[in-house]
Each structure stands twice: as C-alpha cells, then as structure tokens.
Chains A and B, each alone.
Chain A
Amino acid sequence: MAKDYDSRRLVHIGAERVSNVSSTDFPGHYPNEDHSWNLQKFKERLQVKIQRLSNRSIDFDLVGVDASIANAFRRILIAEVPTIAIERVYVWDNTSVIVDEVLSHRLGLIPLNIDPALMAFKSHTDDVATDRNTLVFNVDITCTRNPNPPPPKPNEEPSPSDLYLNHELLSKHLVWKPAGDQESVFEGLSPPGPTNPNIVLAKLRPGQAISMELHAVKGVGKDHAKFSPVATASYRLLPHIKITKPIPPPLGKKFQKCFSPGVIKIDPNTGEVSVDEENVRKDSVSREALRHPEFADSVELSRVRDFFLFNIETESAYPPERLFPEAVRVMREKISIIRNAAEALKAQLEGTTDVEMVEA
C-alpha cells in the first residue's frame, strides 16, 4: 500500500485547481499544538539523500525544510555562487568576420576550469589587476592555406579542415599566461583553461588572424549569466498518488497511460492496479487521470510540500556534488552578515555607537 504522508504535508492537486499550497507548521496555526522551531525536531525531520550523481549533474532529495529555504539555495546556486569567467578582452588584431564585441561576448561565455576558491574578487570593477584577482590568457591564431592538402575526392566539396590550417578559433586555443605566484598556486592542478576544449568561437579563412589578451576574473551570476555555475538548478515537489477506489482491471491499462511510464504497476496475475512507490517521483503530475470521469473519484493527486527533488547541472569548475555545499557556504556568509549587523544594532540600543553594516 502507498506510503502515506501526513495530510498537512500535502499540496492537493485537483483537475482545475491546486489547493493547500501554504505550509501550516508555524506557531499559532493549530490550537494546542506546539510548532515553535526546535533544532532537535528539525534535525529529525531533515533528510538529504543523493539519488543520482554524474560528471555533470546531481539529483538529490531535500526533505523537511520550508520552501523558502529550498528556494533560497536554488537562487544562490544560480546567482551567487562565484565562478571565474573572462571579463576583459584586449584586442590587438581581429580580422575575422566576427566583430570584436561579439567575439568578446562569446569568449566571456566560455566556462573555465578554475576553482574560484583560489581567486579573490576584484573589490571594484576599476581595481587594478593583480595575480590574486586576474588570470591572463592569450589568443594568437592566423589562418593559412594548407600547403599540402589531401587530394580532392570526386563529387565532394573539399572540407575547410583539409584546405586550411587554423580555420577555427576553438576554446582550446586559449593560452594561460601565469603571472606573479600563480604558477605555484595552480601547481598540481590542471592548468587554467576552458572546461570544454572544442567550443567554436570564430571561423577563419586564409589571411585572417586574431590576436587578443583575455583577463578572467571572479564574479557571480547576478552580475552576468556567464558567472553562473549552473546550467540548471531547480527543484520540484515529490508527487503523491493515492488510489482511493480500486481500479477495475479492464481499465488498468488506460489508467496506467494517464501517468508517466513506470509510475503505475499492474499485477500480471491479479490485474490489481497500484502505485509504484519507487517510481512515483517519475510522474509528471499531468492530471490526465482527472480528465476521465471513470477515474476522477478513484484517485487523489498531490505533492509533498517539504519534499524537494533537486536537480543541479554544473557548467563550471565545480563538480556537481560541490555546488550545494558551496551554496550553503554562501548562505552562511549572508547569515553572518545579518547576525553581525543585528548584534551591532543590539549593541547600539544598549550603547551609543552608530550602526554600521559590516561588509563581508
């Protein structure tokens, strides 16, 4: 039988409306119940469980927190976890068809494999570049004709890669120029460069050349999307399906088709229709079942309000499993700022000193 959740934890999903949206577990909502925040209780309820981990993405469950907390992490992942990206481009020569501004924009969007922890923020945009806050790359490429191209094949256009040398500017053509003690800082790590070596930045033809110096700095996604470490950082709520009335076996197949594949199982012998608890998270909650009058009162659809199925895809130097802790770290920093400010305020109320927001 289906795993039952406390009905207070469920967001009810009807054919035309979603109800029971807000959480109710705060003090004073239910008479004679204590809902004051309690670390012990929170610890008991809190669960984090990794479901899937790959090179580029992670799926994990975050259970037992309020939506505001889960959402705060999502937002921080997109906008406030710092990464390194190219911010300044000094063009010495660019005779390609792509104009300077567009090429610079394209360069900025290249994900770099540099651990942001090794770099410092530039405290101000006009700050001088130092070996602590800036990494320098060089690009120098000239397209020429291939002096000995392979013999042309009949009925085939010769490909540019046969005819020319350096006919494409790829992300791998970025050459790191270590400055100051950067060489020692990055020792033992893979040399700074793009995470993907094969991003086409510009196409070239004989006689065209590109020569530039690129400065990469640390930044955050709210400034520009190129600093965002994630491709996707989102969550959804765990679907919950409750069959209230047995589905007659002849309608089993039809009922099954109302849900995402694998969500509903049918016993091959008895024809009994039930929800596959393992796979219920796969459901898209399309509400298709509610459109059919024969199923409308046999099933209850809902989502679990504090059961977040997170999915994060990295597009930066961070491995996927490091992103969430990184977001937690940023969150704690923010909290400490607030705490410092709050304490200063408290001190002021007691003493006479001016309130000052403490910089991170």
Chain B
Amino acid sequence: MSAAHGREITEQAQPQQPPLKELGLTEPVKTVEDKWQLLPYFLQVKGLVKQHIDSFNYFVDTDIKNIVKANNKITSDVDPRFWLKYIDINVGFPDRNEMETVEKKVTPHECRLRDTTYSAPIIVTIQYTRGKNIVQRNVNIGRLPIMLRSKKCVLTGKSESELARMSECPLDPGGYFVVKGTEKVILVQEQLSKNRIIVETDSVKGVVQASCTSSTHGGLKSKTYVATKKGRIYLRHNSIHEDVPIVVALKALGVQSDKEILLLTAGNTEAYKIAFSANLEDAAKLGVFTRQQALEYIGTRVKVNRRVVGPRRPAWEEALEALATIVLAHVPVSGLDLRPKAIFVATMTRRVLMAMDDESMVDDRDYVGNKRLELAGQLLALLFEDLFKTYNSNLKSAIDKVLKKPSRTTEFDAYNTMQFQGDHLTAGFVRAISTGNWSLKRFKMERAGVTHVLSRLSFISALGMMTRISSQFEKTRKVSGPRALQPSQWGVLCPSDTPEGEACGLVKNLALMTHITTDVEEEPIIQLAFMLGVEDIRLATGTEIYGSNTFVVNVNGTIIGLTRHPTRFVTQFRRLRRANKFSEFVSIYVNHHHRAVHIASDGGRICRPMIIVENGLPKVTSEHIQLLKEKKLVFNDFLRKGLVEYLDVNEENDTYIALYESDITLQTTHLEIEPFTLLGAVAGLIPYPHHNQSPRNTYQCAMGKQAIGAIGYNQFNRIDTLLYLSVYPQKPMVKTKTIELIGYDKLPAGQNATVAVMSYSGYDIEDALILNKASLDRGYGRCQVLRKNATLIRKYPNGTFDRLADAPIDENGVVQKRYDIIQSDGLAGVGERVDPGDIYVNKQSPTNASDNSFTGQAASVPYKNTPMTYKSPVAGHIDKVMITDTENEQTLIKVLIRQTRRPELGDKFSSRHGQKGVCGLIVNQEDMPFNDQGINPDTIMNPHGFPSRMTVGKMIELLAGKAGVLTGKLQYGTAFGGSKVKTALQYNP
C-alpha cells in the first residue's frame, strides 16, 4: 500500500521498548513490522460477508446431501414391491428457466432487471423400481435461489473486467439473493447455544433450573429442564404432562441404585448430598424403586401421539420411547443403552445443585460464548428439509394414488409422477425468502422478518446490512441484560454499531475480523480425544467423574469421557490443531468452574484469528510479512504453519492476549493482529473514533448508512425503486485503514468541505448549518434521485391484451402538451424532460379484460387509457427505458426517471462524528466570512455543537484534514492510531 501507510505504522512502533528486558534476554527483540498487513490478506480469504457465503456453500455441498440421506427412501403403502431411493443430490449453476432460450446462462444483474429469481436447478439422482427393473435417473425437483458470490454463483472467481461485462460491481460483497428482482439478505440470527446446559435462577421464585435445547439433524427440537420446585428437583419436558422427580427419571434411565444416583449427581460433596437426599426419599414415597416402576410412572404421564394403526402399547414402552428419542434427543443412544443420557441428566442435576449452593455457578445467558449465530445456510437447510419432506409425502401419495388403480395400460414409471409434482420446492424457497416468513410447523419454527431487502442507500448501508446480527429476544421486554455491551464481545462484535431506540443492543454487527464457523464432523474429534488418553465416560462411576483430579471432557456439550491431565490434554490437542491435523475451527478450552474440558466443533460459533506467541515471542515475524507482501505466502499458509490460529470466544478465556507487542510477557499466549479490528466495517469509517464520546460513534454508525454517494460501479446500469447518487463524490481527506480495506475510498459517500466553526446570523442555532451559495453553484452537495416506474403490458385470460399507443392528436391536429414526450412506440424518449402531469407510458387496456366470457377477436375490443403519469411536483428527466419479458411471459416496462437536486434549506448534512444538522440558511459568497488568505468556507458549523458532545475526534480530523490539504497528502485517522496531531501542527509551507 501507500507510503503513508508505512509511515503510520513506524510511528506506532516507536514507543515499543524491548519488552523482555527484565527477563534477562539479551538479544534485541525485533518487532513485527506491518503485522496489520495480515488483515487485507485475511479479508481476501474471509471477506466481510464470508460467513454468509461459507454457510451457503456448506449447505449446498454438504448439508443438503445429509438431509437427503436422512430422508432418502419412499415406499408405497399399496405396493410393497415399490421403492424409490435418492442416491445423490446436486445443485447446478444458475440458468434461465425458460424453455425456448438457447443461451441458458444468466447473470444476477439480468435477474434484478427482469424481476426474476437468480436460482439454480436442484437435481437428484434416483433409483426406483419400474416393473421388475431397477432404474436410475436424474430428476430436477425444483430450483434453489443462489447466493451471490457463493460457489454456485457465476460471479465467483471472476476478474474485474469479466464482472464489468456482467454489469456487476467488483466491490459488491455478495452474500445476498436475488428473488423476484429484489435483493434479499438473510440476516444472521443470534440464539442460545444448542445442546449445551445453561443454568439460570429466578431469584423471585427461588427457582434454579438447568435447561438444554436439543437439536439434531433431521430430529426434533426440544427443550429439557432440570429444575427445583419447593426444594425438590424435577425433570421437565414438553412431552411429559407433569414434572418427573429427578430420581424417578434417573431410575427410568437405568440408574437403579440410590447410591449410584447420589454419586452421579452429588458426588462426594457433603453439601450437595444433603441438598439432594430429599429427592431420594420422594422417590421412595412414590414407591418407585426399580427401573420398571419408574418407567410405569413416567409412562402414564407421557403425551402420546396416537397413531391410527397398531395396538395400544403398555405405558412403560411409551416411557422408554419418549426417553430414548424425545428427551435430550441430541445425546446418542445406541441400542437401548441410556447410560450416556443418564449421565447427562445427572450432570444437569449436579449443575443445579452447584447453583443452589453457590450463586456464582449460574451461567450468563448474554455471554457471547453461550451464543450461536444462525446463518443463511442453516436457515435454508431447515427450509429445505421441511419442503423436501412435504415433497416426498406428496410424491408418496401421488404414487399410491396411481398404484391403487387395479389395472394400468402402461407400466408405472415414478419418474413421470415426479415430473408432475409442480414447483413445491421452488415456490417454497421463493416465498420464504421474499416474505421473510420461516414458518416450519414440522420444526416448531415460526419466525417472521428473517429476510430484509438489501438497503442500497449507499455502499456502506449495503455492507453494513451484510454484517448485521439480529437477536431472537423480544424487543418489548424491559430487560437490560441482553442489550448491554458484553465484555466478551471484544473483537468479535462491534461495540459501536447498534441502532438507537427499540432494537438497541439487540441488533449487533460483526467486527472486521470475525468469522462464524460452520459444522465440523465431530466423530473424528471424539476418536482423537480418546487417542489422546481420554477415558470413556461409560466406564466411569460418580466417584471418578467428580474425583478431585479428574476433568470431564465434553464434545459439543455431550460428555464423552474423563481426563486426569486436562492441561496436557488441551496442549496436545491444540498442538495437533496448529499442525493442521484437523479443522482450525475446532476449539478447546478448560472450564475450571465446572472441572471440564470443552471441545466444540459445531457451527455458528464466533471466532477470530490471532497471532500465536510462544516463549514471549510472536511466531509471525517480519520475514513472514515480507513473504506475504511478495505474494509468496497467503493467509492460509499462516494457519497451516501454526503462526496464526482462530480462537472462539470460549477459548479466548484460556488465553493471555497481548494487545501490542510491547505488552508481551512470558505468560502471553497470543498477540492481537490489529486493535482497530475490534470495530466493525461501519464504525471503521469514523476517523479518530478513540477520541470521541462513545455514543457519538454509535450515532455515526446509524447515520453513515444514510450518506449519499456512489453505490457501486454498476450504479448507472441499475434500475432500483429509489436510488440516490452523489454527482461529485470524493474520497475522504482523512481516511482510515478500514476505509481502504472495504473499498470505501473507491465508492465514497460525501464530499470534503471547507468548514468554518463559528456562529453566524442566528440561523445556525440548534445544529443548523450555513451553506455558501457559491459552493452550491459550483456543485457542492449536488445529487441525483432515480426512481423506478414499472408496468406490465399484460395478456389477459380471455385473449385480450394491453397495448402501447402513440400520442393522440386533438381536433386541431396537435399533440397535447402532456403527451409531447411520447414517441411513436408509446414510450417517452430517453433524455426528455418530464413535467408534472406528463404521460411517459401511454398504455391502453381492453375494457373487458376481466370478462372471461368474451370470445371475440382480441384486436377488435374497445380500449381505455391506462397511462403512467408523472406525479412528482418537480420536473425530472427520463433516464432509462427498459422493455423485457418476465418469467411468465408478460411484457415488463421499466422507466427510470431522474431528478438532479441541489442542496436547499432543510437538507441534512453530517460529518463523520454523529454531528448532523440541517441547512438553516444559504448565504451569498460575498456575505460569507473570509480569512487572511481569502478562503471562504463551504459551510459554517455552530461551535456550540462541540462542548457537550465531546467529539474531539472531529477536531483532530479538521486539523489532519487541513494539514493534508496543505501538504497534498491524504491523512489517516485509523482507530487507536492514525496521523498524530503533532505532525499536523508541524506543517511548514
């Protein structure tokens, strides 16, 4: 990058003293120069929207196959010899879904313009019986909307010129869908982790409860509680009417001996034993001693889904089935060995006992490590599973219907039945994404507002939307906990970027270096843990599990075994990860509170990369950075060589991270790559944010998205409902490294102005601004507004159709004023001025369009005028006229009308520090103040905006900006760094 960059870093590096002097190391410590250079290379592989794209890729490549595998067979209730099996499923590349097209390839931009869906066919390979043969064929079962820049997208891996040919902006992040011509984003959803025990208390009711939401592939989602009620502990679950005393539950799970129950729950801790003993008595009072009695007890209380066929089963069988399949469904049960489940329940009970004894053992629901982020891929997977199951049951009933007929003329071919299944999947995907309603009854999911229209107000607003996280908490609840800034958000979620008001703190944004994991297969990880000396939990008794020097090993929340050497185990495990023996996104950490080692490989965890430090020295050296700059290394090489690793929020707790190299001590395990990455993309635009009062940065994050500027390199090819463009956008004089990384300097929003901070005329009180009329004359603040007007030239069911007519001539043989821009094709000419009331599409519709009894000649019907009239009070110009076909063969006409506007009284202006104001007065140049050099300001800002708001960063930006103008160099205002005030002041002409 530029020379200015290098200089800035050396300035930062100067105050760094040799950090290990006191440790007696004699050789001078070299600092890693430009370690921030890792950042652009990180963003190359894991861009800002990479989490969306990664998760979509995972869905398309892996998850979709798993779902099909879990539902791969269709049989017939009528003909037992018939079966149909899905062998494989593949998603193709986006194409045009029209029969007669020769060129099938489609670009996202075409979909935007034509109001179609950017989607690709889903092809399944099926095997089925046809008569006595088994046939294998490929069938298209529907279309899947494709995420832009994902593996299946045509834009992926294309050069800038290739993208230009496809009318696509190289700076566009992708990660969204084009559905019916609108760009839709599936927001990241924040949830509590699945399959983990969370202990909560209700101090008012005096209730302590451990809960666990189970979620497995293809399985049900259910929540299991172990809770106290009047000093007793019960197991609660939706499928059981009544709370089950914990001892009864454990007995039903196969732990019959009271002694063993006590050991598994309370261990050898006297306090826990006392607290628990009453539960044992309760079970005895209920007369439950054996497993059979316990099962009978539960069996009478299980909610039974009555199946129509089959005899009624005994209660104990119902209980056994419920316990094996519904309660804590995520804990694996092999055969009918419920031992792991019993241990899980026992652990939950123990956590409750611990929390009853000690308040501090309660978990923090708001802790980021207890949260999982659900991305587009996961949501689509759920949707697909639901749609696919419905599809299969529809198919099955269709097949049954055919097979039911006693005699057929031709041999039954299921392939034909599949051809007539309609577009259930296609319609389902399109409906869900375009409405944002994910209502999947099968998974008890009812969510609205999952998708949003991608805001194209400015480049930043589009980018900001891609990093947004919405929380599942109710907005009306008056609790501050979930809204508060959590210390564990450090580095992964932006502390500044959150809306004000209703959704404050509930809608968050990702920080610059955050990555969200996708699922990693856990079976090999479990095997590896056993190989590293973990003892199988099934061989352990309570004494061992809660022994003084044993640690429980969990994989994704399920207990798999014990270790007596947790530190050694964790170190070895990490060493293997750094040696690239398994996925870099598997995390491991020790929880000393719970005496447990947790390994996590599930998706949705938030993590970020960090430089590994060993023996007080960072493993990344200047030589590595040099190789990186020479393009001999890429970011992934740093991971592969074990120089950098990803840490999730939980594992961060096990580390000692130095912010700067000078802070490294012998205990340090990691080094931050760059402190400014703790901010997100939007907050990264603020110059000197570390000098501002924090709410100002938050205001700026909301306001930066409204700035008018450039939207993308393809902005003149787009036909959006409403598009604001700046006529003369300028890159900021004081930029930040984030600005360069996200390309804001290439698509800026705003202009550099000469600002006088002084009071003037009184029309500037309460944040009003004064503007210089001459500046406006010269183009300052000029913008264009482009508005889309669309209409369909329809064909009606009765054979009639709309038509376009040329301008009518009145009795004097002249064209009326309001028709004067209509050309002979019935459309306004491009470039013509449209005055209020003018007609720009002279459409006519048949008067009997809805009359379905009409059978006459379509050409002979009477027509009425249904023109499109320009309604705005200000004249505009025709910017573009597009004529095309929609997917259902209707002619679509889009007319883009442009207005060019110059700032006027009441227009809002803002700096980058949450300092907004409206224009209160426009002053002639000769009335503006001037200084000794004869400089007139473009705008005057009232000085009263400073003292109470404390936006010192703005003052420094003013200084740095002026110094930059005088020296002819762009300045840096990067957070926790940037050009120094001192250098700005030392300017000497």
Chain A positions near chain B (C-beta within 8 angstroms): 74-75, 78-79, 91, 94, 97, 99-102, 105, 109, 221-222, 224-226, 228, 232-234, 236, 284-285, 311, 313
Contact = CB atoms under 8 A, between A and B. Distances in A.
The 8 lowest CB-CB distance pairs between A and B, nearest first, are A234-B934, A225-B777, A225-B774, A232-B934, A75-B926, A101-B900, A78-B926, A236-B932
B778 interface: yes
B986 to A, nearest CB: 12
Contacts of B934: 232-234, 311, 313
A221 B932 contact: no
A97 B784 CA distance: 13
A205 B775 CA distance: 30
A79 B926 contact: yes
Contacts of B206: none
Nearest to A313: B934
B412 interface: no
Given A79-B926, A284-B932, A99 B879 contact: yes
Nearest to A223: B777
B854 to A, nearest CB: 45
B831 interface: yes
Nearest to B988: A261
A284 B931 CA distance: 11
Contacts of B777: 224-226
B191 to A, nearest CB: 46
Contacts of B935: 232
B946 interface: no
Contacts of B933: 234
A300 to B, nearest CB: 19
A97 B716 CA distance: 8
21 contacts: A79-B926, A94-B831, A99-B784, A99-B877, A100-B831, A100-B877, A101-B877, A102-B727, A102-B782, A105-B779, A109-B779, A221-B926, A225-B773, A225-B774, A225-B925, A226-B778, A228-B774, A228-B925, A232-B934, A233-B934, A285-B932
B607 to A, nearest CB: 40
B758 to A, nearest CB: 14
B925 A79 contact: yes
A222 B923 CA distance: 11
B752 interface: no
Nearest to B777: A225
Interface residues of B, number: 23
Interface string B768-797: 000001110111001010000000000000
B539 to A, nearest CB: 68
A11 B879 CA distance: 58
Nearest to A79: B926
Given A78-B926, A91-B831, 8 more contacts: A74-B926, A79-B925, A99-B784, A100-B877, A102-B727, A221-B925, A225-B774, A233-B934
Nearest to A109: B778
A43 to B, nearest CB: 28
Nearest to B901: A101
Contacts of B898: 99
B985 to A, nearest CB: 12
B121 to A, nearest CB: 37
Nearest to B928: A78
Interface of B: 716, 727, 773-775, 777-779, 782, 784, 831, 877, 879, 898, 900, 924-926, 930, 932-935
Most buried by A among B716, B778, B779, B932: B932
A105 B900 CA distance: 11
A105 B727 CA distance: 11
Nearest to B784: A99
Contacts of A224: 777
A109 B774 CA distance: 11
B778 A225 contact: yes
A101 B876 CA distance: 10
Contacts of A226: 777-778
B924 A222 contact: yes
Contacts of A105: 779, 782
A121 to B, nearest CB: 19
B34 to A, nearest CB: 26
B823 to A, nearest CB: 15
Contacts of A99: 784, 877, 879, 898, 900
Contacts of B784: 99, 102
A279 to B, nearest CB: 15
B849 to A, nearest CB: 37
A311 B935 CA distance: 11
A236 B933 CA distance: 8
Contacts of B716: 97
Contact of A102 (B774, B900, B925, B932): B900
Contacts of B930: 234
Contacts of A233: 934
B962 to A, nearest CB: 14
A324 B831 CA distance: 43
Contacts of A94: 831
A234 B929 CA distance: 10
Contacts of A234: 930, 933-934
A225 B938 CA distance: 13
B872 to A, nearest CB: 15
Contacts of B831: 91, 94, 100
A78 B900 contact: no
Contacts of A74: 926
Contacts of A75: 926
Contacts of B924: 79, 222
Contacts of B932: 236, 284-285
Nearest to B934: A234
Nearest to B925: A78
Nearest to A235: B934
Contacts of B775: 225
Contacts of A313: 934
Contacts of B782: 102, 105
A62 to B, nearest CB: 15
Nearest to B900: A101
A71 to B, nearest CB: 9
Contacts of A78: 774, 925-926
A74 B727 CA distance: 31
Nearest to B774: A225
A101 B778 CA distance: 13
A101 B875 CA distance: 12
Nearest to A91: B831
Contacts of A284: 932
A281 B617 CA distance: 59
A345 B577 CA distance: 99
A195 to B, nearest CB: 16
A332 to B, nearest CB: 19
A74 B134 CA distance: 97
B483 to A, nearest CB: 45
A91 B879 CA distance: 14
A94 B832 CA distance: 12
A321 B778 CA distance: 25
A91 B831 CA distance: 9
Contacts of B900: 99, 101-102
A233 to B, nearest CB: 7
A313 B775 CA distance: 17
A156 to B, nearest CB: 16
A303 to B, nearest CB: 10
A284 B926 CA distance: 22
Nearest to B831: A100
A204 to B, nearest CB: 14
A103 to B, nearest CB: 11
B585 to A, nearest CB: 40
A232 B931 CA distance: 11
B923 to A, nearest CB: 12
A230 B711 CA distance: 36
Nearest to A236: B932
A236 B900 CA distance: 38
Contacts of A91: 831
B715 to A, nearest CB: 10
A34 B955 CA distance: 50
